Structure 1
Amino acid sequence: MNKFKLQIAGIMSGVIVIVVALLTIFNYLDYRSNSVRLNKAILKQQNVLIDIRLTARLDAITSQLSAVDIELSDIHGNQLSSRAKEQLNVLYREQHGMADTVGLFLNDGSFYAQDGRKIPTNVKVLDRQYFKAIYEEGKTYFISDPFISSRSGKEVIALAYRINPHIAILTAVYSNAILGEISRNQNQFIYTQNGTILASPYADFIGKNMFLLRPFYRKFRTENPEMSYTTSINGRPVDFTAFWGKLHTAQWNYVSFIYDHEIYKDADSQLRNSLAIGLFALLASILLVLFILQKMVLHPVGGAPRDIAAYMEIMAQGDLRQTFPDTKHASGIYRSLINLSQHIRKLIQSSYTISEQVASSSAGLNEVMANSQENAQIELLQVEQISTAISELASTSQEVSQQATAAENAAKNALNYVAYGQQMLNQNIGMSQQVNDSATETAQLVNDVRQVAVDIGSITDVINTISEQTNLLALNAAIEAARAGEHGRGFAVVADEVRKLASKTQTSTEDIQTLIETLQNQSGQASQNMAQNVALIQKSVTLVDQVKASFTDISDVVHSMSDINTIVATAAQEQVSVTSDISHVAEAAFMSVNENADAMKGTLAAATALSELAKKQRQELSVFEL
């Protein structure tokens, strides 16, 4: 089972690994392709923005230059007219500090500065590029390579524009004013037509020749603007992808490039994420497949199909001696196969045992049937004896019927006596109840008398208290009379009489208190005796109730005896009739016994045939090995 589980799990895991790997690879390739396409689109768009910005700036300067209107009539020897000088100053101011200097030059090489003075040098003689481009090559517009201005010491670019066949305007604009933030881009080169580098992410490249540093840039064409190449950076080879563009206004070239590893960085990150997710999905899928496999395949099947088929083949050959491994954890079809094998084995064993028992029983049956034939003859004699006994039973039943009738009459008389006794008992119960009620009332009265005696006792306590206070007052009065002397003598006599009266009152009160206590004790004793009498009367009533219940039970028993006697009498009458019927049945039984004797002969033959069948069954079952 475990081997089969490992095989299935291995196959399913392999399929899942292949699927996850293919999905990861396809996802990586698609993401990498999209990343390359997106980065190339960004580079192309960056070139477009460069072209737009540079063209806009150069066109603005060109527009300013073309707006200057100076004629030969404005040139007066070594000086320009005020009108011409004003236009040059206006041009300088319009460039907002972008220009290092402005001026004009003629087709004979004469050069006039911004202040209108004629410069002693001749640009034609000096063979300046802008002079050659305007007057010798016939260009209307020219942009020079960057150079260092002798005036400011800064890098400038000269822009010349011919306003008429004899006069051209020149402005030297700072390189930063034209290139601006473009020169700070870290992934762009801008270089002139002859290769002079104007802008570069590497500061040491500025002013050098691009075609010497990157000779393969010469291969850029309008029809081939894209290039992938490898060059050395800090002594190690680095792969790049570049897009080329050309600024036709100035005949400048610009190249936007990107490191290949940056193009593929997101794709590689996506690959790592995909691998992590794929690994997690792989583990989750394997666990899920194992769970589903266990629930839907392994558990329902229970074992390897090949093993199950082998066991079934052995069983089909009749060998039931095989043992099944891991029966404790078996399930599904494998469990059913084990149960089937055990059940068939038990069934065959049981059938084999039954066959032996049938064979043994058949032999015994033959012997029994032989004995039964002998017993049948004996039964014939016994049936005759039964018929005689039945006749005697009929006469006995008649006598039993008479005795049952007499018993029924006696039971009815007993019922009458029991009814009279119950009547007398009911009267006695009523009288006992009255006595009980009277005793209860008497006990209540005695208890009330006891309570009155208690109340009188409390009154005598009050009188005794009053007498004590009177005696005390008489004593106080005698003391006061003694203090009063002669005048208080009469009052002393009265006080003495009052004291005597109070003393007698106290003595009488004590006697009354003694009598009351005696009355209370006797009334309490009487109350207890009455309570005991009431309890005894209640017990008597309870005993009477029990006697009544006993009479009721006796009545029920007598009723039952009467009913039984009635049933017995009826049964006795019926028994007389039944014994007559039994006599007839006995005669029929005699005939049946004769017929049974004949049937036993046929049964003996059937038992012999059954014994033969049992032998054949044992031969058929012997094919199974247990």
Structure 2
Amino acid sequence: MTKISLTDMIAFPIVCQQKGQVAMMKPTLTLKRKIIGLAVLAAVLPVVVMMIFMGSFQSSVSKLASKELSDVAMTNMAQIAKDVYGLCETSNDLIQKKINNGLNVARDVLKQHKGIETGRETVSWDAVNQITKQTRKVELPKLMTGGAWLGQNRNPATPTPIVDEVKHLVGITCTIFQRMNENGDMLRVATNVQDLENRRAIGTYIPAALPDGTANPVIETVMKGQPYRGLAYVVNTWYLTAYEPVKDKAGKIIGMLYVGEKLEAVGSLRKAIQGMKVGKLGYVGVVGGKGEHRGRYIISKDGARDGENIWDQKDIHGNAIIRTLITTALKQPKGESFYHEYIWQNPGDPQPRKKVSSVIYFEPFDWVIVAGTYEDDFFRPVGHVNEMIKSLFLKVLLAGALIILLSVFLAVFLARRLTHPLELTTSLARKIATGDIQQTREELAGAESVRIIQSGDETGELLRAFQTMTGNLDSLIGQVHRSGIQVTTSATEIAASARELEATVAQQAASTTEVTATSREISATADDLAQTMDGVNVSLNETIGMAESGRNDLTHMEMAMRELVKATTSISSKLAVINDRANKISHVVTTINKISDQTNLLSLNAAIEAEKAGEFGRGFSVVAREISRLADQTAIATQDIQQVVAEMQTSVSTGVMEMDKFTDEVRRGVETVSTQSGQLARIIDQVRIHGPQFTAVKDGMYGQSQGAQQISEAMSQLSLAAGQTKESLHEFKLATEQLNEAIGGLQSEVSRFKISS
């Protein structure tokens, strides 16, 4: 079991205190910082969560608003396109009714004039193709009605039968066509339609074939004996028309009767379409779908591009937008719309923008109706929503920052208020740890400490307990100091007495020990001598045998060393021969160096002569350079050989000298071995003489050993008793010394504390 002394018990708290001071030196998170950190965290965490929520909310709202607005915009565009389609249907129905009424009136008027027939006389016409504007001369029979020729009246002020009556009755255009040929080309011979010069547009004809070679649908239908209703290009504009064949009495088609209404005459429809808005900046446009007006703007934004052909217009990516819209629209079922996205730029727009359109085809008018708007137009509310959310986000962020700053301020204030008593307590504890109890008690009696104690909270209770503990500690340390002085005095007196008694016992034990030791030494020496003499006899015999063997070995060694002398002499002579050969090689190398120098000189002269010889000495100059290069290589090689030979001469000379020294040493070794062999023979003879003498000495030693052993046993008992007494006194002395040390340590520790007197 381990013994713990009083000194160890006192030293342990000191060591712990020192370790605690080392630990306190390490940086720690103070209570004030913890309080501030918790308060700031409590303020920051809700703000961060709110910011995350606002970011997520903005993203969700933006996506949802974009989707909903996109759906609404698409639905709105489709509805607008269908509304325009509905307006067109309504207008078409009204116009068709008017055309039907006009056609019925035209039939009645024609009957009243007893129909139309061709006369016997012919008349010349300058027929103009209404599409290509090409003119050709034709001779046609006069077209008669009621026995009178319709004439070639171009003056609107001069009445023309039938057509003017129809216009007067129903207010629509009316034309009588005469068949020009078997193909079915139809020439206007009487009309109330005026051209750009405000004259009756007679002399123009509708070709049976279009410029692309396809059949004109109007002529094709009429030539089949059927009426044609639909959109047709009349002179210089588009009309909603009705055509029906005119036959003679034999039933042969000799012409056709036309009634129609200009699309432009329906001004309310155009205004309605132009006035429609898709979103904020979008509009409705109409382009032609087939035939001559395919890809031509019929209704454009503000009418700025009416009549412009945009069939080949492409976007910035090279896509033929209008072609795609028209061809796709023509493939759709009747009354069905579709959506299309493309890049579009109107004249005057700063840059192209993405446009979304709903497209529908109205066949009676051959209109491709495009209701579209720019994507950023219907996504503008999304931008407003995002801006509002960003503004709200910034406001929340600002409010959060203000809350955090306020929280930090309050946290610092409260942390100081709460931790100040603890800091005061910590300061007092440090002073107690350094031993300044008196100063601690004075500060506890101060006004600030009294205020905290009287506050009644936990910190006040802590300081009150600290005050009581300090008073008790002051009293305890004073009592320990006084008791320590008394114990020190008593321990000093006991230690002095123990030292005197120990000295006396030590002297007695020393004397007894000396006698015992002497007796044991005598006995042991006698035994050792007797045993030694036995060993000596054995060793003498072994020594004699070993000496004989050593003398024989020395003889063999001497013979071997003499042989070694002969060998070293032979090596020295051979090294001398090698040195001589090396000297000869050195002379040869010197000669080669001289020859190389001469060769270099000769090659230099040869090169000079070759230069003088000019073109004839060029080959010789090359040879001279090669000889000079070989001479340089030879000089370098001879220098290397000369260096190797010099090193070999040095090594051989050193070897000869070392072999001479080695030979001398071996000779001296042979002489020494011979001398030692003689001395060893004389030693063997002397050892043999002393053998009987050692036997006599051994017998005397055995008798002395027995007497000394008896004396030793008696003194051992006396020494044992003295040793036990000495050990007891030594332990008592150690105890008193430990007590003094403990009291000294205690007084030293107590002296560190400054207490009240």
Structures share fold, TM-score greater than 0.5? no
Please identify which structure carries the higher helix content.
Answer: 1
Tell me which interval the TM-score lies in, with the shorter structure as reference length. Answer: 0.3 to 0.5
* TM-score, normalised with respect to structure 1: 0.43
